Amino acid sequence: MITIGLDIGTTKICGVLKKDAAVLLTVSRANDAGLPKEKNFEDCQDPARILFLVDEILAELFRAAEKDRRNADAGFTMSMSDTPKQSELYAIGLSAQMHGILYVDAEGEAVSPFYTWRDTRGNERWISEDAEKGREREDSKEREDSRKREDSKANEDSKKNKSYSEKLSELTGYSLAPRFGAVLHFYNLCNGLVPKNAVKICNIGDYVAMKLTGRKTPLIHPTMAASFGCFDLEKLDFDREALKAARLDEGFFPSVGREELVGKLERAEESAENMETRRFVPVTMALGDNQASYLGTVPKPGALLINIGTGSQLSVSGDEIRSFQHLECRPYLNGQFLYVGASLSGGRAYAELKDFFKETGGLRESRKRKNIGSQTLTSFSDEEIYEAMNHEALRALSSENSKSLQGTSGGMMPDRLVIGETMSDRMVIGETMSGQMVLGVIDGIIDELYRFYEEIGGSDRVLYGSGNGIRKNPAMQKAIEKRFGRKLILSEEKEEAATGAALYGEMITFK
């Protein structure tokens, strides 16, 4: 059978056409839906532009699916109630970037931009005056009682300089990061930014599912709902009492589905006899991209997955709710949970070191190898510099002492350079140390992930790797294998989240 998987990422939107175990076609578009910033903390995208890009991708995938169907069995049509046939399109699965929200009206239309997970308004300072704005939904008596309670704590909160995320965490009893959807909504509510005709919040993946199926109200998957915060893992629903305690209208938060469909996409198909038929293709709820990537990479539950992109993550599935000091327990599929350790250290730290070398003219050994003079590397492409960095890191790894400059949490930052204990006093930055510097960043990234692994426990787990930060960096691969003491299995598919979404479409349609 054929399924489509769509992943709506922050910087890229990708679709795959999957037939049985093989991906036939991958179609990507840069996510250029970003909107101009009015304030430095903003990171918003245009939902209409995202829908346009999704439609472009789907049109190309539909054409490929139709071509495959005609080649396999010209003129064959069937309804969804029939037995599946190998060359028919049977489902569209969705995945999307987590945490972000947008507002929809009673007709299911977007009435706001999409506030992404990179929006940091939750870090802004909360003051009691803010809490009096945007609360028109409360009656006057409740508002007066709330004012008295909040005024009594205003001076204390101002002295403590609490952020919106800290304040909402206090009110709900949940630990909420600034990027969580509930925090974004809390800030907007306190500052009068919630559109008057808004009735629900949802994620961009939920909104795409609504528009594909004609649904007017969002239905959100637990993997996505949990990324908003204030989520009860046992009930697999928002903690609506906690939301009420924070004076948030719990009716604004969408219904949480289980393993069910959002609806069906109606589309026309033309047979070999030029007869038009109407087909209805099931559309799934949007999975969180973390869980979709795990599904698209790990063939059996319980294995470790390391993903290194802009940041880095270590994930492993389990059968029970667990509490960790440095990891998060997230909903997964079929009653399971995903234990996730997320770090900001990843490709971003590697890119910063690349910029450092580009401006200062480091990478001396690679200069010799390519006969490059003493000028800076500004005339060389990023890919060429990354290649040189990887080469010198491999040289450092293969040396007898394998010494490195060790990066701190968040990678090796310009203002936080820490020299590892194994570094020789005779090494000099900019001469013989470029390989050790690159290896130091790599080791810093991996050490954070290894601490997550130690907290999870279980020494016999199979180890998988995904993301360009691993796939394009042989030095990173070798360093991971060395630190974890086992073979690293690379993902067969480059678009893991979209592939996972396609697999989920199969699972839900034919469960």
- The answer to whether residues 248 and 371 belong to one domain is no
Closest CA to 169 of 251, 250, 99, 243: 243
> Last residue of a domain, which of 419, 444, 469?
444
- Please check whether residue 65 is in contact with residue 265, taking contact to mean a CB–CB distance below 8 angstroms: no
Report yes or no on 227 lying in a domain: yes
Q: What are the residues whose beta carbons fall under 8 Å from the beta carbon of 158, sequence distance 6 or more?
A: 127, 128
Report yes or no on 352 lying in a domain: yes
Report yes or no on 164 lying in a domain: yes
Which residue do the tokens 């016999």 mark? Answer: 460
Which residue do the tokens 């080649």 mark? Answer: 71
- The answer to whether residues 245 and 356 belong to one domain is no
> Last residue of a domain, which of 407, 423, 444?
444
Tell me the residue range of the domain where 111 lies: 102-202+222-256
- Please check whether residue 47 is in contact with residue 19, taking contact to mean a CB–CB distance below 8 angstroms: no
- The answer to whether residues 250 and 378 belong to one domain is no
pLDDT given for residue 381 in this prediction? 77
Please return the burial class of 368, using the count of CB atoms within 10 Å of its CB with bins 0-12, 13-18 and 19+: exposed
Terminal Cα-to-Cα distance of the chain (whole angstroms): 14
pLDDT given for residue 469 in this prediction? 87
Report yes or no on 455 lying in a domain: no
Write out the two tokens for 23: 């991906």
Count of structural domains within the chain: 2
Alpha helices in 99-191 (DSSP H): 140-160, 164-172, 181-190
Closest CA to 337 of 302, 370, 285: 302
Secondary structure in 3-state letters for 292-324: HHHHHHCCCCCCEEEEECCCEEEEEEECCCCCC
Report yes or no on 170 lying in a domain: yes
CA distances from 383 to 1, 124, 379, 387, 389 (A): 38, 37, 12, 6, 10
Report yes or no on 70 lying in a domain: no
Report yes or no on 435 lying in a domain: yes
- The answer to whether residues 244 and 127 belong to one domain is yes
Which residue do the tokens 């965490």 mark? Answer: 169
Please return the burial class of 99, using the count of CB atoms within 10 Å of its CB with bins 0-12, 13-18 and 19+: buried
CA distances from 54 to 50, 202, 242, 392 (A): 6, 17, 35, 40
Distance CA 301, CA 277 (A): 40
β-bridge mates for residue 340, sequence order: 315, 328
Other C-beta atoms closer than 10 Å to the C-beta of 41 total: 15
pLDDT given for residue 139 in this prediction? 45
Report yes or no on 196 lying in a domain: yes
Phi, psi of 338, rounded to the nearest 5 degrees: -120, 125
- What secondary structure does DSSP assign to 168-225, as a single string? HHHHHSS---TTSHHHHHHHHHHTT-S-TT--EEE-HHHHHHHHHHT-SS-EE-HHHH
Write out the two tokens for 215: 């649904």
- The answer to whether residues 246 and 110 belong to one domain is yes
pLDDT in tens, the chain (511 residues): 789 999 999 999 999 999 888 899 999 999 999 999 999 999 999 999 999 999 999 999 999 888 877 776 544 443 334 344 555 778 999 999 999 999 999 999 999 999 999 999 999 999 764 444 444 444 454 555 555 555 555 445 444 689 999 999 999 999 999 999 999 999 999 999 999 999 999 999 999 999 999 999 999 999 999 999 999 999 999 999 999 999 999 999 999 998 889 999 987 666 555 556 678 899 999 999 999 999 999 988 899 999 988 788 999 999 999 999 999 999 999 899 999 998 877 877 888 888 887 777 655 544 444 544 444 555 677 788 888 888 888 888 876 555 555 544 444 333 333 333 333 333 333 444 677 888 888 888 999 999 999 999 877 789 999 888 898 889 999 999 999 999 999 988 889 999 999 999 999 887 6
- Please check whether residue 180 is in contact with residue 99, taking contact to mean a CB–CB distance below 8 angstroms: yes
The 8-class DSSP code of residue 11 comes to S
- The answer to whether residues 114 and 249 belong to one domain is yes
- Say what the alpha-carbon torsion angle 414, 418, 424, 427 is, to the nearest 10 degrees: 10
- The answer to whether residues 241 and 380 belong to one domain is no
Q: Give the CA diameter of the chain.
A: 79
The reported pTM is: 0.81
pLDDT given for residue 150 in this prediction? 55
> Last residue of a domain, which of 444, 476, 506?
444
Other C-beta atoms closer than 10 Å to the C-beta of 167 total: 26
